[in-house]
């Protein structure tokens, strides 16, 4: 009788130990790096959370809060993400990671962003789904926010070869249509907003592909050379 009781006690203890081990879950440890270390408002910042670790499982979700308000703006299944900052200053970035059993870990870091003399953003007016077909028109909007007094401002866009360009709004600039260059002779003051708008007509003979727009913003005083950032991808389907 004693041996039966001992066996039952042993089995119960082993069962409780097994359940305890099965239910335990060590939370993941969140961590991330960002590059470049000292971006300005025209620099795309890459955040990489691949240094985050889960000791007894795997990380399945990465949540990012880019303005420090406690609300997560982006959720990704992968550890990398990019971000543009519209204003200079110190931005608190919060990361929360979730493992495959629901446990979470968090970390916060500060990114110091410098205000560029001019902040430039490109946006594309695309149809639902973001895909265009041959013969369609894509409207391009480039917004310049002047952050300090500036002279000799120039904008150069590089559309796909063979695409027709139609000017819509030049923002007070002189347009060299053959080169798709806008030149401003006037002096700009801090706080001014300038919009340049043009249309791109997709050739009817173009093959299905993804096209990337490139652009460059320059100024004479202060000296500035910056890539036009924001939306740049046009996907064409036949």
> Residues 110-121: pLDDT tens digits?
999 999 999 999
Whether 141 and 191 map to the same domain: the answer is yes
- Domain count for the chain, please give it: 2
Whether 146 and 88 map to the same domain: the answer is no
Whether 132 and 186 map to the same domain: the answer is yes
Whether 109 and 186 map to the same domain: the answer is no
Average pLDDT in the chain: 91
For β-strands 181-183 and 193-201, DSSP reports them as unpaired
CATH of the domain at 172: 2.60.40.10
**In Å, how far are 42, 60, 122, 175, 218 from 227, measured between CA atoms?**
7, 34, 10, 19, 9
The pair phi, psi for residue 2, each rounded to 5°, is -65, -40
Whether 148 and 218 map to the same domain: the answer is yes
Q: Residue 183: which of 136, 218, 147, 137 has the closest Cα?
A: 218
Facing residues of 226 across strands?
Answer: 217
Residue 140 lies in a domain: yes
Q: Show which of 55, 81, 113 is a domain's final residue.
A: 113
The pLDDT of 2-22, averaged and rounded, is 49
Identify the helix (H) or strand (E) that includes residue 30. none
Q: Residue 235: which of 202, 204, 205 has the closest Cα?
A: 202
Q: Show which of 113, 134, 149 is a domain's final residue.
A: 113
Residue 194: count other Cβ atoms within 10 Å of its Cβ: 21
pLDDT bracket for residue 74 (50, 70, 90): very high
List the domain range (segments joined by +) for residue 47. 33-113
Q: Buried (b) or exposed (e) across 63-92, using 16+ Cβ within 10 A?
A: bbbbeeeeeeeeeeeebebebbbeebeebe
- How confident is the model at residue 21, as a pLDDT? 47
Whether 106 and 123 map to the same domain: the answer is no
Residue 136: count other Cβ atoms within 10 Å of its Cβ: 15
pTM for the model:
0.83
Residue 192 lies in a domain: yes
Residue 177 lies in a domain: yes
> Residues 135-191: pLDDT tens digits?
999 999 999 999 999 999 999 999 999 999 999 999 999 999 999 999 999 999 999
- How confident is the model at residue 238, as a pLDDT? 87
pLDDT bracket for residue 12 (50, 70, 90): low
Whether 136 and 49 map to the same domain: the answer is no
Contact 46, 64 (CB under 8 A): no
Residue 72, pLDDT > 90, answer: yes
Q: Show which of 88, 113, 138 is a domain's final residue.
A: 113
Whether 131 and 173 map to the same domain: the answer is yes
């Amino acid at each position: 009788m004693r041996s039966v009781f001992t066996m039952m006690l042993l089995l119960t203890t082993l069962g409780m130990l097994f359940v305890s081990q099965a239910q335990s879950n060590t939370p993941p440890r969140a961590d991330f790096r960002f590059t470049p270390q000292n971006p300005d408002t025209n620099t795309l910042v890459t955040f990489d959370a691949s240094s985050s670790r889960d000791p007894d499982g795997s990380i399945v979700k990465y949540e990012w809060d880019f303005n420090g308000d406690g609300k997560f703006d982006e959720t990704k299944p992968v550890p990398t993400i990019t971000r543009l900052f519209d204003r200079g200053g110190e931005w608190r970035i919060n990361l929360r990671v979730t493992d495959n059993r629901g446990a979470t870990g968090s970390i916060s870091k500060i990114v110091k962003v410098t205000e560029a003399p001019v902040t430039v953003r490109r946006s594309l007016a695309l149809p639902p789904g973001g895909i265009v077909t041959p013969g369609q028109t894509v409207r391009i909007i480039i917004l310049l926010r002047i952050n300090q007094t500036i002279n000799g401002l120039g904008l150069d866009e590089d559309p796909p070869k063979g695409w027709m360009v139609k000017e819509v709004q030049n923002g007070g600039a002189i347009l060299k249509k053959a080169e798709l260059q806008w030149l401003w002779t006037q002096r700009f003051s801090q706080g001014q907003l300038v919009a340049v708008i043009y249309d791109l007509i997709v050739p009817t003979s173009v093959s299905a592909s993804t096209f990337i727009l490139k652009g460059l913003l320059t100024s004479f005083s202060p000296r500035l050379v910056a890539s036009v950032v924001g939306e740049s991808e046009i996907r064409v389907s036949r």
